[in-house]
Amino acid sequence: MSNVAIFCAYDGKMAYMREQRNNRKIENAVKAERHTKLMQDKYKDQIQASISATKLYKVVWNSKDPDENAEQNKMRIFVEDLDSVAAILKYQGSKTAVLNFASYRSPGGGFIRGSIAQEECLCHESFLYNVLESFQREFYEWNMQHKQKGLYLNRALYSPEIGFFRNGKEAFCDVITCAAPNKAAAQKYENVSDRENTEALKSRIQFVLDIAEKNEVKTLILGAYGCGVFGQDAKEVAGIFKEFLTTTHTSFDTVVFAVPDGKNGNYRRFAEVFKEN
């Protein structure tokens, strides 16, 4: 086969794959619109209650000294080969919150447009999007004017009692919606250094844990925060979480890192960091 023929065959294969991706995205967008309407029709009162009780956070509390009683608190930390919704359904029984690895700019990220990542998956199996879209002006439009070179600012929504549904099972869980620093964009377009990113990442993770403690969360579901298209390093993210959870933020009973064991290696890196817990 000539080089031209090989190129044409490769180009045709790539075009086919792009078409398949576009078709899936269109299908997901249709499902998202249908799901949003279903949630609104079926859970109107619960959605409104969550909207009314949602709190906007935009400050960091004073940093805390290490907890001298950290070992006595006996926090359980698990790294699980689960997605976030599966973890929500598995770990019930006490006040539970899940971290939504959110878009800084759009409610639900690309959910309504058919994209799929952690936030979009949360929205596909809950009424989270119905709640978040109510904060377009107050939260997302402000964020769009304050991107901080792609590292973003410490801003979050705490939405209580979001309903999650899968295979006939349901659970109600609080959601912390907070974007990680977008390292990939910040370094590509704004020449942000690794040090600047790490400082922002530490501040953001502390901010998330502060919010969870402020709301007296006992079971906290986290994950490979920012380790997808935002380009954060899984080992660094896990290490920062471990540092705070074993020194200053020790009030939780259970912390679950829901990290699907895929090709990106994030599960292995988190498991290695937390293997001593």
Q: What CATH number does residue 15 fall under?
A: 3.40.220.10
What is the percent of the chain where pLDDT is above 70?
87
Please say if the pLDDT value at position 1 is more than 80. Answer: no
Phi, psi of 252 (to 5 degrees): -75, 150
Confidence of residue 47 (pLDDT cuts 50, 70, 90): very high
Residue 174 parent element (H or E) = strand 169-178
The model's pTM is 0.90
Average pLDDT for residues 176-188, to the nearest whole number? 98
Quote the pLDDT of residue 268: 98
Count how many domains the chain has: 1
Quote the pLDDT of residue 59: 73
Average pLDDT for residues 59-76, to the nearest whole number? 67
Quote the pLDDT of residue 69: 62
Mean pLDDT of the chain: 92
Quote the pLDDT of residue 7: 47
SS (H, E, C) 52-84: HHCEEECCCCCCCCCCCCHHHHCCEEEEECCCH
| Tens digits of residue pLDDT in 200-219 | 999 999 999 999 999 999 99
Lowest-confidence pick of 92-96, 206-210, 255-259: 92-96
Please say if the pLDDT value at position 70 is more than 80. Answer: no
Quote the pLDDT of residue 8: 47
Average pLDDT for residues 34-44, to the nearest whole number? 98
Task: Read off the tokens for 22.
Answer: 């576009």
Higher pLDDT, 13 or 209: 209
| Tens digits of residue pLDDT in 96-119 | 999 999 999 999 999 999 888 999
| Tens digits of residue pLDDT in 214-242 | 999 999 999 999 999 999 999 999 999 99
- Domain encompassing residue 224: 3-273
Start-end of H helices in the chain: 3-42, 44-53, 70-73, 84-90, 118-124, 128-132, 142-144, 183-190, 194-214, 234-245, 266-273
Q: Is there a contact between 225 and 205 (Cβ–Cβ < 8 Å)?
A: yes
Question: What is the bridge-based pairing of β-strands 156-166 and 169-178?
Answer: antiparallel
